[in-house]
């Protein structure tokens, strides 16, 4: 599985600029299903925008749910329950989300230009043993032994949801065939 990244620009705005959270105490005269009738929100429609989240708490304690604004129209506001995944919401959405999270396997560390995994340990006189991360940057340094650095690398891999590629995968992606052993040069005997 190829690693996919959340675009860096996606965190340029805080949630306050994308959506607003509200809380409303729902009067006893309203039932939960009334909240999904767009016109029920007509009096507050101008205060709402797409993606806003509204916690709706029944005064009598019969429900406490989060609704997300799907669309604001002239006639009212269309709501969907949170969480929702592809038309499924509530407990079913939470179950689907749990299944997706459980089924996601660690991503394989990509190979660098040299054909080796980009996450690795290396020794330099200035840094001693160090761990290089997915972006090529240093994760940690000053490990006294290679074993200590490897332990730190495996801890990093686990925290990042990564795994090293299997040796067969590394060989399959390599353009060069396996190096052949060089023939030993025969020594010339002095005559």
34 in any annotated domain:
yes
The whole-model pTM stands at 0.54
Closest CA to 165 of 109, 104, 105, 113: 109
For residues 21 and 51, the answer to whether their CB atoms sit within 8 Å is: no
Give the DSSP letter of residue 41.
Answer: G
Q: Give 16-37 pLDDT, tens digit per residue.
A: 778 899 999 999 999 999 999 9
The answer to whether the beta carbons of residues 105 and 157 sit under 8 Å apart is no
Q: Which of 102, 123, 138 is the last residue of a domain?
A: 102
User: What does the angle CA 58 – CA 60 – CA 62 come to, to the nearest 5 degrees?
Assistant: 65
> How far, in Å, CA of 143 to CA of 164, rounded?
20
**Domain boundaries, position 24:** 15-102
User: What does the pLDDT look like over 59-90, one tens digit per residue?
Assistant: 998 889 899 999 999 889 999 888 877 777 76
Query: Do 157 and 84 share a domain, yes or no?
Result: no
Q: Is residue 8 part of a domain?
A: no
Sign of CA dihedral 96, 98, 103, 105: positive
Domain count for the chain: 2
**pLDDT at residue number 171:** 53
Residue 144 lies in a domain: yes
C-alpha distance from residue 46 to each of 17, 38, 65, 77, 90 (Å): 17, 13, 22, 10, 27
Round to whole Å and give the CA distance between 110 and 163.
10
Residue where one domain finishes, among candidates 102, 136, 165:
102
Could you tell me if 20 and 33 lie in one domain? yes
Residues 118 and 48 in one domain: no
**Is residue 73 domain-shared with residue 88, that is, in the same domain?**
yes
Please report the pLDDT score of residue 179 as a whole number: 47
3-state SS, residue 81: strand
pLDDT of 3 > 80? The answer is: no
Those residues whose C-beta lies under 8 Å from the C-beta of residue 40, and which sit 6 or more positions away, are 30, 34, 76
Is 54 inside any structural domain?
yes
Highest mean predicted confidence (pLDDT) among 4-13, 117-126, 177-186: 117-126
Tens digits of per-residue pLDDT, 92-129? 777 877 777 777 777 888 888 888 898 999 999 988 99
| CATH code (residue 38) | 2.40.240
Q: pLDDT digit string (tens) for 130-155?
A: 999 988 889 999 999 999 999 999 99
């Amino acid at each position: 599985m190829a690693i996919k990244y959340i675009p860096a620009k996606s965190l340029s705005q805080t949630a306050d600029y994308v959506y607003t959270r509200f809380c409303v105490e729902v009067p006893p005269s309203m039932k939960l299903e009334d909240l999904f009738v767009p016109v029920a929100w007509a009096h507050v429609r101008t205060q709402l925008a797409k993606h806003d989240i509204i916690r709706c708490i029944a005064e009598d304690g019969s429900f406490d749910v989060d609704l997300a604004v799907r669309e604001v129209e002239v006639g009212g506001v269309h709501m969907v329950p949170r969480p929702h995944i592809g038309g499924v919401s509530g407990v079913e959405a939470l179950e689907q989300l749990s299944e997706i999270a459980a089924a996601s396997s660690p991503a394989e560390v990509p190979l660098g230009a040299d054909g080796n995994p980009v996450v690795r340990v290396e020794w330099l006189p200035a840094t001693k043993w160090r761990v290089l991360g997915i972006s090529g940057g240093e994760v940690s340094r000053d490990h006294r032994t290679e074993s200590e650095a490897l332990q730190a690398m495996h801890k990093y891999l686990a925290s990042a949801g990564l795994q090293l590629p299997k040796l067969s995968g590394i060989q399959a992606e390599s353009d060069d065939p396996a190096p052949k052993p060089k023939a030993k040069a025969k020594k010339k005997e002095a005559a």
